[in-house]
């Protein structure tokens, strides 16, 4: 039985893990996009500055537990990158990296979504 070293420095929050895009399958990418909440998140983060939006700043009809889950899915699909700043977690779209892995896919989805919203 060993003794735990005293936490001299305060332990920081473990930073989020991000996907390696070569390991993201097409199926996983499509599944990540095939959800209305996640589609909203992607659209809003795409239309904002990088690192502008924190997780809690999105207007989606789910509580924070589900929201946290959706961000985990988007992260695993290589669609977003997250960075902690104080108590908040900020987001950016990994557009260039995702485009390199799935050329044209994100553009098509964002365009289709924009058209869908304009139709109403």
Residues that bind a copy of itself (CB under 8 A): 25-27, 29-31, 33-36, 39, 101-105, 107-109, 111-113, 116
Q: Are 88 and 71 in contact (CB under 8 A)?
A: no
- CB 76 → DNA: shortest distance, Å? 10
**With binding defined as CB under 7 A, does residue 78 bind DNA?**
no
Angle between helices 64-76 and 26-33 (to 10 degrees): 150
| Tokens encoding 65 | 């537990």
Cβ closest to a copy of itself, residue 75 vs residue 110 = 110
Could you count the other beta carbons within 10 Å of the beta carbon of residue 12? 7
Query: Which three-class secondary structure state does DSSP give residue 12?
Result: coil
Residue 10 interaction partner, one of DNA, a copy of itself, none, beta carbon < 5-8 Å per kind: DNA
Distances (CA, A) of 1 to 5, 6, 8: 12, 15, 21
Task: Give the H/E segment covering residue 97.
Answer: helix 95-101
- CB 42 → DNA: shortest distance, Å? 13
- Taking CB under 7 A as the rule, which mask of x and - marks residues 35-74 in contact with DNA? x-x----------------xxxx---xxxxxxxxxxxxx-
Per CB under 7 A, residues contacting DNA are 10-13, 16, 31, 35, 37, 54-57, 61-73, 82, 84-90
């Amino acid at each position: 039985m060993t003794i735990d070293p005293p936490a001299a420095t305060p332990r920081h929050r473990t930073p989020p893990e991000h996907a390696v895009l070569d390991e993201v399958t097409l199926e996983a990418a499509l599944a990540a996009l095939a959800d209305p909440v996640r589609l909203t998140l992607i659209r809003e983060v795409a239309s904002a500055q990088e690192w502008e939006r924190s997780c809690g700043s999105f207007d989606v009809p789910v509580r924070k537990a589900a929201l946290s889950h959706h961000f985990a899915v988007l992260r695993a699909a290589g669609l977003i990158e997250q960075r902690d700043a104080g108590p908040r977690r900020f987001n950016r779209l990994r557009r260039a990296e995702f485009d390199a892995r799935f050329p044209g896919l994100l553009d098509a989805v964002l365009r289709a979504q924009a058209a869908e919203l304009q139709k109403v």
